[in-house]
Amino acid sequence: MEDKTFIYFLTASVLLTLAPGPDILYLLTKSLADGARSGIILACGLISGIVFHTTLVMVGVAALIKSSATAMLLLKIFGAAYLLFLAFGAFKSAREGKKISLSKTIAKKSLTSLYKRGVLMNVLNPKVLLFFLAFLPQFVDLSSDSASLQILFLGFVFAAQALIIFSVTAIFAGRVRNLILRKKDIGQILNLVEAAVLAIIAVGLILSKAA
């Protein structure tokens, strides 16, 4: 791969990651609600989902899924259902008046659950799969014997820069969180915002058309 092509890819990747989208929007919301550490763990889950989709593109499974209307529909239904389930949980916490603590101690079980949430949010989202199926091959010589390895390499580069940007976003949101948490009822407000963000992402997924 030429240096110029790699620079184009990296620049495009950074700009796409920084653009307002479901992943970074939910990451920002979750970091404000639960702190930077939770945001970084969620980011690791989201990035694992990116690696999963990259692997599917590399081995050709992504193209097979795209060609199956049934597979795309089922993936979309499961993804939207999972997001709505998460939204309901956040809304329930807000209704119950769940308070958000300034304590930095988070149960290992909660962090594991948050990581799994990030993984499933991306794995069950066909829009992410279609994005990588369309994006990665543009920077690869598909006639080359090493095309699959080039796709895998670019996928990991995309994941690495996204993890850096997501982590910085989480840390920034965590700092802001410490400034606003002392306000009355802010915990309920953040839970409602989280529920709304998840519901919006789910509705967007349901209404999206398969490319």
Q: Over the stretch 122-165, which tens digit does the pLDDT of each residue have?
A: 888 777 888 888 888 888 877 777 888 888 898 899 999 999 99
- pLDDT tens-digit series, residues 54-65: 888 887 766 666
**From residue 73, how far is each of 37, 56, 67, 80, 207 by CA, in Å?**
34, 18, 11, 11, 11
Q: Which of residues 203 and 112 earns the better pLDDT score?
A: 112
7-47 residue pLDDT tens = 989 998 898 888 777 788 888 888 887 888 889 999 999 99
Helix/strand/coil for 102: coil
Q: What is the pLDDT of residue 211?
A: 44
143 Cβ contact list (under 8 Å, min separation 6): none
SS3 68: coil
SS (H, E, C) 151-174: HHHHHHHHHHHHHHHHHHHHHHHH
Q: How far is CA 5 from CA 55, 136, 161, 162, 165, in A?
A: 21, 12, 16, 19, 21
**How do the domains of the chain map onto residue ranges?**
22-207
Smallest CA-to-CA distance from 192 within 84, 93, 100 is with 93
